[in-house]
Amino acid sequence: MISVEEALQIVIDSAQDFGVEEIPFIQSAGRILKEQIKADRDFPPFNRVAMDGIAIAYSSFKNGQRSFKIEGIQAAGSEQISLQNLENCIEVMTGAVLPNKCDAVIRYEDVFIENGIATISIDAVTDGQNIHQKGKDEKAGDVLIKQNTIISAAEIGVLATVGKSTVKVAKQPKVMIVSTGDELVAVDDVPLAHQIRRSNVFTLVSLLEKLHIPSETAHLTDDKPILKEKIKSFLATYDVLLFSGAVSKGKFDFLPEVLAELGVVKSFHKVAQRPGKPFWFGQTKNSSVFAFPGNPISTFVNCLAYFYPWYFKSIGVELQEENAILSEDVSFKPNLAYFLQVQLSYRYGHLIASPITGNGSGDLASLVKADAFIQLPANQNEFKKGEVFKIIRYR
Ligand SMILES: Nc1nc2c(c(=O)[nH]1)N[C@H]1C(S)=C(S)[C@@H](COP(=O)(O)OP(=O)(O)OC[C@H]3O[C@@H](n4cnc5c(N)ncnc54)[C@H](O)[C@@H]3O)O[C@H]1N2
Ligand code: MOO
Ligand SMILES: [Mg+2]
């Protein structure tokens, strides 16, 4: 059986390229930028008045002049005007172009205006004050956003300001999420005593929505010919198939044999981990197949631990590993990596992971009580309070 580290490496090495698409910029939050965004002009594009007040020629102030006749007004959105007489001033508004021949702006708070004369009431005025110089932030042609950035509200503002009404982003994979099992009924149904409602497909849908990946869902019963026929058509249509269930040792766990019969090349089946051990992963020329074990926490943790990194690698994004400090001693004897559910909190600026006691990988409700999994390595059995390990967050 391979280790979590080996399995992850195999999964990452088989990342797929889904190509690039151009979409309206306002729909691009959360997507991965696939072009460089450059400044189309200087930032700011003109000497920008930064305070409401008066603009003067600094030389006049330096020569001792304190009262200035108001010659005109420069509003934001008006073409640049020019100071006619260097001993006068122009009223200026924040966001306006600095009038020609002016080189300092004094706030209204520091000026007294009467009968069209503005008198400066402070002693300290400096050359260039309250002026946001043209090109001070960025020069035309500077790279403002690097390729492969995850677009957030911050990038949306920059895209708007450089006039990028459409933007190139990584195409999302076409994903089909399939639940299997005769015991599963729809969310709207009232289950009989021996049935349960399906939930794994919906956790998967929403784990993918977090990545802005749309998906479709299907449910298949434990009937081998039906499984084979349906999965054959899914393989022809989708980039990614995510399964939950039917990969263990049961009499009706048909998935591994069906996938093999359909020509999906197995990379591995079973990883030395708990929960999620019977995870099956394989590929065809065009599709990747993640067949997660059906126990709800197994499906959940494997999507986070394998599908997420595979997806980020596929679209060219480097993920930073996150660590946390274990809040108490933990003992785990099996020679398996242990994905332990934890609550996260901060203490003196450090991220603390406090274990949650659940009842194994079928304890779906315990997911609600935790925020993340802490990944305790297989080669260790005793984990001490204060030791630091990798975490995988879902909140
Ligand atoms: N003899 C062995 N039995 C089992 C082993 C083993 O190594 N030897 N492994 C156990 C482990 S670990 C897991 S995990 C499960 C994996 O089982 P399958 O992937 O075959 O999944 P199923 O048998 O279809 O279902 C298992 C369990 O999960 C529930 N389930 C399935 N799908 C959903 C869904 N969409 N929503 C909610 N719940 C779902 C299902 O009802 C079962 O209770 O196998 C162990 N057995
Ligand atoms: O791998 Mo199973 O997920 O331990 O229950
Ligand atoms: Mg089974």
Average confidence score pLDDT of the chain:
97
Element (H, E) at 10: helix 4-13
Residues 204-260 pLDDT 10s = 999 999 999 999 999 999 999 999 999 999 999 999 999 999 999 999 999 999 999
% of the chain with per-residue pLDDT over 70: 100
Instruction: Spell out the residues 6+ positions from residue 349 whose beta carbon is closer than 8 angstroms to its own.
Output: none
Residue 358 pLDDT greater than 90, yes or no: no
**SS3 state of residue 187:** coil
List the structure tokens of 199.
Answer: 């939930």
Residues 130-184 pLDDT 10s = 999 999 999 999 999 999 999 999 999 999 999 999 999 999 999 999 999 999 9
Instruction: Spell out the residues 6+ positions from residue 203 whose beta carbon is closer than 8 angstroms to its own.
Output: 296, 299, 300, 303
Contact 46, 65 (CB under 8 A): no
Q: What are phi and psi of 301, to 5 degrees?
A: -70, -35
CA-nearest residue for atom 5, ligand 2, is 361
Ligand 3 mean position to 321 CA, how many Å? 32
Residues 291-321 pLDDT 10s = 999 999 999 999 999 999 999 999 999 889 9
Compute how many other C-beta atoms are within 10 angstroms of the C-beta atom of residue 314: 21
Residues 318-351 pLDDT 10s = 889 999 999 999 999 999 999 999 999 999 999 9
CA-nearest residue for atom 26, ligand 1, is 294
Band of pLDDT at residue 129, cut at 50, 70 and 90 = very high
Handedness of CA 36, 37, 38, 40 (dihedral sign): positive
Beta bridge partners of 271: 2
Residue 43 pLDDT greater than 90, yes or no: yes
Quote the pTM value.
0.92
Ligand 3 mean position to 210 CA, how many Å? 28
Residue 9 pLDDT greater than 90, yes or no: yes
Give the domains, in start order, of the chain with CATH numbers. 4-18+172-314 (3.40.980.10), 20-43+137-170 (3.90.105.10), 48-132 (2.170.190.11), 322-393 (2.40.340.10)
For ligand 1, which residues put their CB under 6 angstroms from it?
Answer: 179-181, 183-184, 196, 198-201, 244-250, 253, 275, 277-278, 293-296, 298, 361-362
Ligand 2: which of 1, 248, 295 to mutate, judged by most atoms within 8 Å of the beta carbon? Answer: 295
List the structure tokens of 125.
Answer: 């005025």
Ligand 1 mean position to 293 CA, how many Å? 6
Cα–Cα distances (Å) from 170 to 33, 145, 175, 253, in that order, read 7, 15, 15, 36
CA dist 176 and 178 (Å) reads 6
Give the atom of ligand 1 at the shortest distance from the alpha carbon of 248.
20
Compute how many other C-beta atoms are within 10 angstroms of the C-beta atom of residue 39: 19
Band of pLDDT at residue 69, cut at 50, 70 and 90 = very high
Residue 15 pLDDT greater than 90, yes or no: yes
Average pLDDT over residues 53-81: 98
Taking the C-alpha atoms of 205, 206, 212 and 215 in order, what is their torsion angle to the nearest 10 degrees? 10
Element (H, E) at 232: helix 224-237
Pick the closest to residue 70 from 78, 59, 81, 94 (CA basis): 81
Ligand 2 mean position to 314 CA, how many Å? 27
Q: How many Cα neighbours within 13 Å face the side chain of 248?
A: 13
Residue 357 pLDDT greater than 90, yes or no: no
Pick the closest to residue 138 from 164, 158, 110, 115 (CA basis): 158
Give 275's DSSP letter.
S
Residue 296 in contact with ligand 2 by CB distance below 6 A: no
Residue 127 pLDDT greater than 90, yes or no: yes
